[in-house]
Amino acid sequence: MTVLDTPPIVDQLRSRFGSAIRIGQGCDLASDLCVEIDDGGFLAVGDRVSIRRGTTIQVHRGGTIVIGDDVAIGENTFLSSMVGIRIGDGVGISNMVDIHDHNHRERSRAHVPDSEPTPWASGFAGAPVIIETGALISNKVSVTAGVRVSQNTVVGANSTVTRSLGPNTVAAGAPAQPIRTFDGPLATTEDRQEIRVGWFGTSIMEHLEGYNAQMVTQANLPAVGSSIPVEAWRNRGYVQRLHLALQVAWPYLGFAFDNHGEGGATSRDILGIVGRGVPPKTRAFDLAFLGCGINDVWRGFQGRTSEAVGPDEFDTNYRDMLRLLTAGARRVICIGETPFGWDNTGLDIDAMNSELARYNNLAARAAADAGAQFLDVWPAFTTTAQALAGWSPATRPDETLWSDGVHLSELGDALMLRLVEQHLRDTDLIPALTRYDLYERTAARSTYHHLFTDSDSHADVIPPRR
C-alpha cells in the first residue's frame, strides 16, 4: 500500500478522543469511518492500516480494540468491544464482517430482577476476540465473543466463527469448521495460547522417578554396573506422557502441567493440597484433574486406622475439593481410582476392591452434583487385566497393569493414558478450552485485562500474554 499523507479524518479523531485513541503512521482511513469511544475505552490503530468506507468501530466503556500494523479492513464492517478485540499484524478483514466481543445475557429473573422491559436490562456477557497475524476473514463473516482465530487462517465467506481455529487452516460454515490445513510461516512475535492443567491426587498421578542427566543423554549413557547419583525427582507416568501427547497433537498451544500428586495421600491430605494449590477467587487452571480414595481404603486394610478415611468423611472431603476446584478451574475431570491388583501381602484383595468401588461411586455422585466430569477407568482395567494374563486377585500374571498391586506398571500407564486421551477426544475438551469463557462485562474486563495491556493507563498496549 502506498503511504499517503495523513488524511483529515485522522486529525479529527485524535482531536476528538485525545489519549483514548492512538493512530500510527501511513494509515488510509475512509472519510466516513465512524468511531465511537465511550469514557474508559481505548482504540489503538497501528501503522499502514487501511479501513474502507462505511465501517464502524465501537468501543464501549472499559473496552479495548487493538489493530496491528498493515491491516486491511473492508467496507461496511462493524467492530464492537466491551472487553477487548485484538487484530494482529497483516490481517485482512473483508466487507460486511461483524466482530462482537459481547452478547446480551438472557432475560432471566436473576439478570432482570425488576422486570425492566428494555433490551439492555439483562446486561451483557463478554470475552476477548483475538485474530492473529496474517489471518484472512472473508465477506459477511460473523466472529463471536471468546474466539481466537490463529495465524494465517482463512475463514470462508458467510461463515459464523463460534469456536477458536488453529493456525494455517481453511475453515467455513455456520458454525465454521476446519476444512483443510496448509504449510504457512508462523510469526514468533505471536504469543502461544497456554492451557494450564492442574493435577491433584496420589502417587499414581505423582509417579516420581529418579533423575540424572546422564541417564537420558543417549551419547553419554553410564556404563552397565556403574553408579551415578540421583540428582532430582521428576514426575513421569501417564501424566507426563499425556503432556507430551497433547503438545504433539496441538503444537501451536502451550500446555503447562502442575502436578500436585502426593505419595500416600488420602482425601484428607489432598483436600489440604487443593486448598493450598488453588488461590481463592482465582481461575488458576483451565483444566483440573482430581483422583483419590485408594489410600483412604488401603490404610484401613493395612491396620493404619488413624490414617484411614471412612466413606462419610471421604464424601465430605471430595465435595469440598470439588467446590474449590470448580471455582479455581474452568473444567474439572474426576478420575476414578483403579482397582487393586495382585500383591504378596496376604490382604483380602476382593474385599479391598469392593470397598474401593464404593468410594468410586461416592466420587461419581459428587462429581455429577458439582457439574464436573467423571472418568470411570475401572471397567477397562479389570477387563484388560483379565485379557492380558487371566488376572485374578489370587494369581500374579506374567504381565500386569500394576507394579506392586497399587502403583501402575508401564502397561497400566499406557492404558490410563489411552483412557484419558479418549475422554478428551470424546468431550472435545481441548478445542473448547481454546475459547475464552464469557463473564459479565465488568468481570470479563478484569479477567482478560492482561491480554491487552500491562497497565491500567493504556499507556503501553502490548501483544497479549497469558
Tell me the three-class secondary structure of 333-384, residue by residue.
EEECCCCCCCCCCCCCHHHHHHHHHHHHHHHHHHHHHHCCEEECCHHHHHHH
Domain count across the chain: 2
Span 385-437, pLDDT tens digits:
888 876 554 455 446 899 888 999 999 999 999 999 999 999 999 999 999 99
DSSP secondary-structure letter at 34? E
Listed residues 150, 181, 212: the one ending a domain: 181
Same domain, 26 and 161: yes
CATH number at residue 132: 2.160.10.10
458 confidence band (pLDDT: 50, 70, 90): very low
pLDDT tens-place string over residues 100-128: 999 999 989 889 888 888 888 889 999 99
Q: Which of 70-74, 198-202, 229-233, 328-332 has the lowest mean pLDDT?
A: 229-233
400 falls within a domain: yes
Same domain, 148 and 264: no
Is 370 a domain residue?
Answer: yes
CATH number, residue 206:
3.40.50.1110
Q: Considering just the CA atoms, what is the radius of gyration of the chain in Å? A: 27
Span 265-282, average pLDDT: 93
Q: Are residues 275 and 380 in the same domain?
A: yes
- Predicted confidence at residue 460, as pLDDT, reads 52
The pTM (predicted TM-score) of the whole model is 0.89
Confirm whether 293 is domain-assigned. yes
- Determine the pLDDT at residue 232: 83
Choose the final residue of a domain: 138, 153, 181: 181
72 pLDDT higher than 70: yes
6: phi then psi, degrees, rounded to nearest 5:
-60, 120
- Are 288 and 333 a contacting pair, CB within 8 Å? yes
- What is the chain's mean pLDDT, rounded? 91
Residue 456, domain member (yes or no): no
Residues 81 and 35 reside in one and the same domain: yes
Which range has the worst mean pLDDT, 168-177, 262-271, 334-343?
Answer: 334-343
Strands 129-131 vs 85-87: parallel, antiparallel or unpaired: parallel
Query: How does residue 459 score in pLDDT terms, banded at 50, 70 and 90?
Result: very low
Give the residue-averaged pLDDT of 84-99. Answer: 97
Domain that holds residue 299: 194-433
pLDDT at 219: 84
| 263 part of a folded domain | yes
For every residue of 234-250, DSSP letters joined together read: EE-HHHHHHHHHHHHHS
Q: What is the pLDDT of residue 50?
A: 97
DSSP state, 193? P
Q: Is residue 457 part of a domain?
A: no
At 214 the pLDDT is 83
Which are the contacts of 314, defined by CB distance < 8 A and separation ≥ 6? 267, 293, 296, 359, 362
Q: Does 246 lie in the same domain as 369? A: yes
Please indicate, yes or no, if residue 38 is contained in any of the structural domains.
yes
Name the band, by pLDDT with cuts 50, 70 and 90, for residue 2.
Answer: very low
* 8 A C-beta contact, residue 317 and residue 311: no
pLDDT of residue 454: 47
Rounded mean pLDDT, 262-284: 93
- DSSP assigned state of 394: T
Please state the rounded mean pLDDT for residues 457-461: 47
The tens digit of pLDDT for each residue in 344-379 reads 678 899 999 999 999 999 999 999 999 999 999 999
Q: For residue 159, which of 140, 183, 136, 179 has the smallest C-alpha distance?
A: 140
Asked if the structure places residue 445 within a domain, the reply is no
- 31 shares a domain with 113: yes
- Are residues 244 and 350 located together in one domain of the fold? yes
Please choose, from the candidates 79, 72, 21, 65, the residue with its C-alpha nearest in 3D space to the C-alpha of residue 49: 72
Based on the domain organization, do 100 and 222 belong to the same domain?
no
Nearest to 222 by CA among 232, 231, 212: 212
Residues 89 and 226 in one domain: no
Angstrom distances, CA of residue 354 to CA of 23, 266, 278, 358, 360: 69, 18, 32, 7, 10
Does residue 381 carry a pLDDT above 90? yes
Q: Are residues 164 and 298 in the same domain?
A: no
On whether both 392 and 331 belong to a single domain, the answer is: yes
